Structure 1
Amino acid sequence: MSLKAVTLALALLAITGAQADISAEQVANVVWNYFTQLSDNAKETMDQLQQSEISKQLNTLFQENLQNVNAYAGDLQKKLIPFATELHAKLTEDSEKLKEQIQRELKELRLKLSPYADEVHQQISKNIQELQQKLSPYAEELRGQVNQNADLLRQQLAPYAQELRDKLQENVEGLQAALAPYADQLQQQIDKNVEGMKDKLAPLADELKVKIDQNMEELRKSLAPYAEEVQDKLNRQIEGLSFQMKKGAEELRVKLSDNVEELRRKLGPYTEELKEKLRSDAEGLRQSLTPYVEGLSGQMDQKIEEFRQTVAPYGEAFNKQLVQKVEEMRQKLGPYAGEVEDHLSFLEKDVRDKIAAFFSTIQQIEN
C-alpha cells in the first residue's frame, strides 16, 4: 500500500476509533485531502485507482484494530471504506469531465450576458461594495474581541506573579508549601480564560456564514434579469462562489481555535517550570525562584501580545479574501475572460454533498 493510502486509512481509523458519532465533515476532509494529494500527479493517480485492492488493504487495516472501537463504529467502518474508495475513484474519473462542463457553461453564460456587460459589471461592483460594508463590523468585532480577551487574560494572570513575588520576600518557613498552590491556580486561570476566549470567538464564523448567504442571494437576484435563459448556470456559479466563501469562514474558525490553543501551549510551560523549581531543595528555593518570578509576568505578557498581534488582523484579511472571490467572479463573467481552472471547488462541493447524503442515509437506516 502507498504511503498516501496508509495515511487515508489511519486518518479514517483515528476519527472512527475516537468516537462513534463521526461527522460527515471529518470524513469529507479526509477523502478530499486524499483526492487532492493524488491529483497532484496524474500517473500516481492512475496507479492508485485499483479500487478493489485499496478496499481490501483498508479493510485489513481496520479489521486489525476493530477491538479498539465499539460495535457501531465497526459497522460504520465496513460501510465507509468501500464508499470512500469508490467515491475517490469516481471523483478522479469525473474531474476532467467536470472541468470541461464548467468551461462550457461559463462560455454560454458569458455569451448570454455579453449584451448586458456594463449592467452586470455594475451589479457585481455594487454587490462587492455592499459585502465590504457588511463585513467591516465583523472585522472590527473580531479585533475587539481578541484585544479584549488578551487584556483580560493579562489582567487575570498578573496578580499571580505579584503574589509569588510577595511570598518570596516574606521570610517564612515552609516556602514550598506556601507557593505550591500557585502553580495549579495559574494553570486553572490560563485554561479558564482560553476556553472563554474560544467560546467568544467561535460564533463569529457562524455569523459570517449567514452574511455570506444573504449577500449571495442578493447577487443572484440582481443578476437574474440578465440571465433568464441560463439561470441554472448562473446559480451554479454563485453556489460555487458561496461554497468557497463559507469554506473560508470555517477555515477562519479553525485558525482562531488553533491560535488560542497555541497560546495555551505557550503559557503552559511556565506553570510546569514553577512546579519543577518548587521540587528543588529548600535552601536553594528562594535563590532559584527569585529571577524566575521577576521575569514571569513580562514573559507571559509577551506571549499574549504575540497572540494578539497575530490574530487581530485575521478579520481584515478574511474580508479581503471574500471580496477578492467576488471580484474573480466578475472577471470570469467578463466577455474577455480566459479559461478557468476552478472546477475543483465544484468537485469538492460534490464530495461534501455526497458524504453528507451517505451519513444521512446511514442514520435513517439505524432509526
Structure 2
Amino acid sequence: MSLKVVTLALALLAITGAQADISAEQVADVVWNYFTQLGSGAKDTVEQLQQSDISKQLNTLFQDNLQNVNAYAEGLQKKLVPFATELHAKLRQDSEKLKEQIQQELAELRLKLSPYADEVHQHVNRNIQELQLKLSPYAEELKEQVNQNTALLRQQLAPYAQELRDKLQENVDGLQAALTPYTEQLQQQIDKNVAGMKDKLAPWADELKVKIDQNVEELRKQLAPYAQDVQDKLNRQLEGLSFQMKKGAEELRAKLSDSTEELRQKLSPYAEELKEKLRTDAEGLRQSLGPYVEGLSGQMDQKIEEFRQTVAPYGEAFNKQLVQKVEEMRQKLGPYAGEVEDHLSFLEKDVRDKVASFFSTLQQIEN
C-alpha cells in the first residue's frame, strides 16, 4: 500500500474512530484537502516525506486502527476507502479538463455580454450594494449575540469566585469538604454556558445561506436578458459563485464552533486547578487557595474578553468576503478579463456532490 493511500485511509479512520457515523461532508473534506495539499506541495517536501520513517509509523497506526473498529465501521471503511482513493486519482485529470472547459465557457459568455458591458457592470455593482445592505444587519446581530453571550457567561461565573472567597473566610475546619462541590459546579456552568452560546450562534450561518441564495438568484434574473443562448454558461458561473459563498458560510459556522470550544478549553483548567489545590494538605490549603481565588474571576474575565474581541468581528469579515466574491464575478465577466484559475471551485463542488451521492446510495442499500 502506497504512502498516499495509507495517509488517506488513515485520515478517514481518524474521523470514523470506532464509530460508523461518518458524514459525507467529512469524507469530502478529507479527499479535497488531500488533493489540494498534494497539488500545492513542493516536490522536495513529498520526497522528504517518503524518505522519512513516517511511512512505517502510519502503517503501524493504520493496522492498530483496523483492529479497533467494529464490524459495521470496518465494512463501511472497505467500501469507503476504495471509493475515496479512486475519486482522488481522477481529480488531477478532471482538473485539467475542467479548467479548459471553464475558460472556453467564460470566453463565450464574455463575448455574448460584451455589447452590454456597461449594463452588466451596473447590475453587478447594484447587486453588491444590495448584498451589503442585506448582510450589514447580520454582522451587527452576530456582534450583539457575542456581546450578550459573553456578558451572560461572566454573570453566570462571577458568583462562584465570590462564594469561594466567602467560604475561604468562613471555614476553618472542613474547608476541603466545603469547597469541593464548587469545582464540579464551576465546570458544569462553563460547559453549560459555552454549549448554549454555541447553539445560539450556529443558526446564523443558515440564515446567511438564505440571503446568499436570494442574492445570487437576483443577479441571475438581472443578467439573464443579456445572456440569451448562453444561459447554461451564465448559470454555471453563478452556481460556482453560490458554492463559494455558501462554503464561506460553512467556514464561518466552523470558526464560531471552534472558537467557543476553544473558550471552553481555556476556562475548564480553572476548575481542574481548583480541584488539584483541594487535594493538597489541609494546613497549607488556605494559604495556597487565597491568592488563587482572588485572581480567579479576573483571569476568567480576561479569557472571555479575548474571545469576545476575536469573534465579534467575524460577521463583518465574512460580509467583506462575500462582497469580494461578487466583485470577482464582475471582473470575470468583463471584456478584458484575463485567464481565471477558479475552476477548482467547480471541481470541489463536483467532488462534494459525488461523495454525497455515494453516501445516499449506501443508505438506500442498507434500507
TM-score bucket (shorter structure): over 0.9
Mapped to 2, the partners of 1:202 and 1:256 lie a distance apart of 8
Aligned to 1:302: 302
User: What does 1:111-150 correspond to in 2, within 5 Å?
Assistant: 111-150=111-150
Instruction: Return 5+ residue gaps in structure 1 as ranges.
Output: 48-57
Mapped to 2, the partners of 1:301 and 1:42 lie a distance apart of 44
Change (3 A) 1:295 1:107: same
Contact kept? 1:62, 1:77, Cα under 8 Å: no
Aligned to 2:352: 352
Change (3 A) 1:192 1:60: closer
User: What does 1:252-267 correspond to in 2, within 5 Å?
Assistant: 252-267=252-267
Contact kept? 2:6, 2:62, Cα under 8 Å: no
The CA deviation at 1:170 is 1.5
Aligned to 1:282: 282
Query: What TM-score do the two structures reach when normalised by structure 1?
Result: 0.92
Query: What amino acid is the match of 1:124?
Result: V
Is residue 169 from structure 1 mapped to residue 165 from structure 2 by the alignment? no
Aligned to 2:271: 271
Mapped to 2, the partners of 1:205 and 1:168 lie a distance apart of 45
Tell me, what secondary structure is at the counterpart of 1:339? coil
Contact kept? 1:38, 1:45, Cα under 8 Å: no
Is residue 12 from structure 1 mapped to residue 16 from structure 2 by the alignment? no
Query: What amino acid is the match of 1:347?
Result: L
Contact kept? 2:256, 2:311, Cα under 8 Å: yes
Using the aligned pairs only, state the percent identity: 87
Query: What TM-score do the two structures reach when normalised by structure 2?
Result: 0.92
Tell me, what secondary structure is at the counterpart of 2:310? helix
The CA deviation at 1:160 is 0.4
Contact kept? 1:213, 1:242, Cα under 8 Å: yes
Is residue 225 from structure 1 mapped to residue 194 from structure 2 by the alignment? no
Aligned to 2:55: none
The CA deviation at 1:277 is 1.1
Aligned to 1:241: 241
Alignment deviations for residues 202-226 of structure 1 (CA, whole Å, 9 cap, x no partner)? 0001111111111111111111010
How many aligned residue pairs are there?
Answer: 357
Query: What amino acid is the match of 2:347?
Result: L
Mapped to 2, the partners of 1:281 and 1:32 lie a distance apart of 54
Mapped to 2, the partners of 1:118 and 1:320 lie a distance apart of 24
Is residue 319 from structure 1 mapped to residue 307 from structure 2 by the alignment? no
The CA deviation at 1:72 is 2.6
Mapped to 2, the partners of 1:78 and 1:136 lie a distance apart of 47
Mapped to 2, the partners of 1:41 and 1:169 lie a distance apart of 61
The CA deviation at 1:267 is 0.6
Alignment deviations for residues 172-228 of structure 1 (CA, whole Å, 9 cap, x no partner)? 311111111111111110000010000000000111111111111111111101001
Mapped to 1, the partners of 2:198 and 2:273 lie a distance apart of 26
Alignment deviations for residues 75-109 of structure 1 (CA, whole Å, 9 cap, x no partner)? 22222122111111111111111111111111111
Aligned to 1:52: none
Mapped to 2, the partners of 1:88 and 1:365 lie a distance apart of 24
Mapped to 2, the partners of 1:358 and 1:190 lie a distance apart of 40
Change (3 A) 1:259 1:65: closer
RMSD, matched Cα? 2.1
Alignment deviations for residues 235-275 of structure 1 (CA, whole Å, 9 cap, x no partner)? 00000010010000000000001100110111111111111
Of 33-42 and 78-87, deviating more is: 33-42
Mapped to 2, the partners of 1:197 and 1:128 lie a distance apart of 31
Contact kept? 1:59, 1:81, Cα under 8 Å: no
Query: What amino acid is the match of 2:260?
Result: V
Mapped to 1, the partners of 2:136 and 2:245 lie a distance apart of 16
Change (3 A) 1:358 1:289: same
Alignment deviations for residues 33-82 of structure 1 (CA, whole Å, 9 cap, x no partner)? 111111125869999xxxxxxxxxx9998676444223332222222122
Change (3 A) 1:240 1:3: same
Query: What amino acid is the match of 2:29?
Result: N
Alignment deviations for residues 270-329 of structure 1 (CA, whole Å, 9 cap, x no partner)? 111111111111111111111111111001000000000000000000000000000000
Query: What amino acid is the match of 2:215?
Result: N
Query: What amino acid is the match of 1:99?
Result: K
Contact kept? 2:12, 2:30, Cα under 8 Å: yes
Mapped to 1, the partners of 2:59 and 2:269 lie a distance apart of 41
Aligned to 1:90: 90
User: What does 1:144-159 correspond to in 2, within 5 Å?
Assistant: 144-159=144-159
